[in-house]
């Protein structure tokens, strides 16, 4: 049998096969080989008898992974939806751009989703659009409150494991509940074995939407650590900078901040690069430089 791990807790893995949910243990060979099953993994598993568990199973093999996210820890992600609100709270562009840097090297497609568009004027929405103009990230305007854009978002999730990420307070839980409706899978009647181990560290959680579609439930972030990026390489994480990087006078030694004859700064002045994104780049660069001093 094959399925996807949708949750891990107390040493157990909940595997969904498209119809039913199985509470599984991983075979000892995984520990011996230093392999760790992850939420999102596609696995081969077999059923076993357990007097305490209705659908008990054993994970026999982890199928090849397409990719792996570190934050949240999740495998085989088809796409990431970065959710933020256009208003109440106002967008924190530095935090959003740091997250985009964090997932940049995964090469997982990222879309920006702007919630609470019903509260925004057209001028405010246009400012948000301009902030990411040229970045290469598709943007979708939605309202969980009145349902604007939800059907389109649901269609984009069809047949994939989608990761919904975003800062706290932007309506992520409300969007999850709206998308899931009555499909939210409860692990209800946990076995006594789970009950005894419920205080162990939880992984991410994935919910089944139907039609081979899955949606991950990830914690809201209040900070994003990208200290692994060298400040000299930060410009490579801003997609709209790339066409100009070979035209700066100092080429790869150009930080695009204080230098003269900088093609990136010229593009900002001419409107080819969003000033909001550029200003965010400068603050992130200076923060990385400060971290390196210590």
What are 275-288's pLDDT values in tens digits?
Answer: 999 999 999 999 99
Query: Domain total for the chain?
Result: 3
Distance CA 2, CA 146 (A): 38
Provide mean pLDDT across the span 96-101.
Answer: 95
Maximum CA extent, the chain: 74
Task: Indicate whether 213 belongs to any domain.
Answer: no
DSSP 4-37: EEEEEETTEEEEE-SS-EEEEEEPHHHHHTT---
Q: Is the pLDDT of residue 102 over 80?
A: yes
What is the residue range of 84's domain?
69-181
Other Cβ atoms less than 10 A from the Cβ of 61: the count is 13
- Reported as a single tens digit per residue, the pLDDT across 236-287 is 999 999 999 989 998 889 999 999 999 999 999 999 999 999 999 999 999 9
Residues in the chain, overall count = 294
Please tell me the predicted confidence (pLDDT) of residue 16: 95
Residues 195 and 52 in one domain: yes
Residues 147 and 134 in one domain: yes
Which CATH number covers residue 145? 3.40.50.300
Residues 8 and 84 in one domain: no
Where does the pLDDT of residue 197 fall: very low under 50, low under 70, confident under 90, or very high at 90 and above? very low
Q: Is 255 helix (H, G, I), strand (E, B) or coil?
A: coil
HSE-up of 210 (CA within 13 Å, CB side)? 8
Residues 104 and 49 in one domain: no
Write the CA distances from 161 to 100, 141, 145, 156, 227, integer angstroms: 19, 21, 24, 11, 28
Task: Indicate whether 206 belongs to any domain.
Answer: no
Residues 14 and 41 in one domain: yes
Residues 92 and 147 in one domain: yes
According to DSSP, residue 228 is labeled: T
Residues 103 and 175 in one domain: yes
Which CATH number covers residue 268? 1.10.40.50
In which element (H, E) is residue 239 found? none
Q: Is the pLDDT of residue 95 over 50?
A: yes
- Reported as a single tens digit per residue, the pLDDT across 127-136 is 999 999 999 9
Q: Which residue has the tokens 């991950």?
A: 216
Task: Report the chain's terminal Cα–Cα distance, integer Å.
Answer: 52
Provide mean pLDDT across the span 169-189.
Answer: 74
Residues 153 and 99 in one domain: yes
Distance CA 6, CA 43 (A): 11
Task: Indicate whether 223 belongs to any domain.
Answer: no
CB 179 within 8 A of CB 10: no
Distance CA 113, CA 251 (A): 34
Question: In degrees, to the nearest 5, what angle opens at C-alpha 280 toward C-alphas 277 and 285?
Answer: 125
Residues 173 and 82 in one domain: yes
Distance CA 121, CA 87 (A): 10
Q: CA Rg, the chain, in Å?
A: 22
Residues 52 and 126 in one domain: no
Residues 127 and 29 in one domain: no
Question: In degrees, to the nearest 5, what angle opens at C-alpha 117 toward C-alphas 114 and 119?
Answer: 135
Distance CA 209, CA 212 (A): 7
Distance CA 175, CA 235 (A): 33
């Amino acid at each position: 049998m094959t399925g996807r791990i949708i949750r891990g807790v107390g040493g157990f893995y909940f595997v969904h096969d498209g119809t039913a949910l199985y509470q599984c243990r991983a075979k000892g060979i995984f520990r011996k080989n230093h392999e760790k099953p992850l939420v999102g993994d596609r696995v081969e598993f077999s059923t076993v008898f357990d007097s305490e568990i209705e659908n008990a199973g054993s994970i026999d093999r982890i199928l090849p992974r397409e990719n792996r996210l570190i934050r949240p820890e999740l495998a085989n992600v088809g796409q990431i939806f970065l959710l933020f609100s256009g208003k109440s709270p106002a967008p924190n562009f530095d935090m959003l751009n740091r997250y985009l840097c964090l997932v940049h090297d995964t090469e997982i497609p990222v879309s920006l989703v702007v919630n609470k568009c019903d509260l925004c004027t057209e001028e405010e929405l246009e400012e948000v659009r301009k902030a990411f103009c040229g970045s290469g990230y598709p943007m979708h305007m939605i309202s969980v409150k009145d349902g604007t854009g939800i059907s389109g978002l649901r269609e984009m999730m069809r047949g994939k494991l989608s990761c919904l990420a975003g800062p706290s307070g932007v309506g992520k839980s409300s969007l999850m509940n709206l998308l899931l409706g009555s499909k939210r899978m409860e692990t209800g009647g946990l076995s006594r074995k789970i009950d005894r181990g419920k205080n162990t560290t939880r992984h991410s959680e994935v919910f089944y939407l139907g039609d081979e579609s899955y949606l991950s439930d990830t914690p809201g972030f209040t900070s994003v650590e990208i200290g692994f990026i060298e400040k000299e390489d930060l410009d490579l994480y801003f997609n709209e900078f790339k066409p100009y990087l070979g035209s700066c006078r100092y080429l790869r030694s150009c930080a695009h901040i204080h230098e003269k004859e900088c093609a990136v700064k010229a593009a900002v002045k001419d409107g080819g690069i969003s000033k909001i994104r550029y200003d965010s780049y400068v603050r992130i660069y200076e923060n990385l430089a400060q971290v390196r001093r210590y």
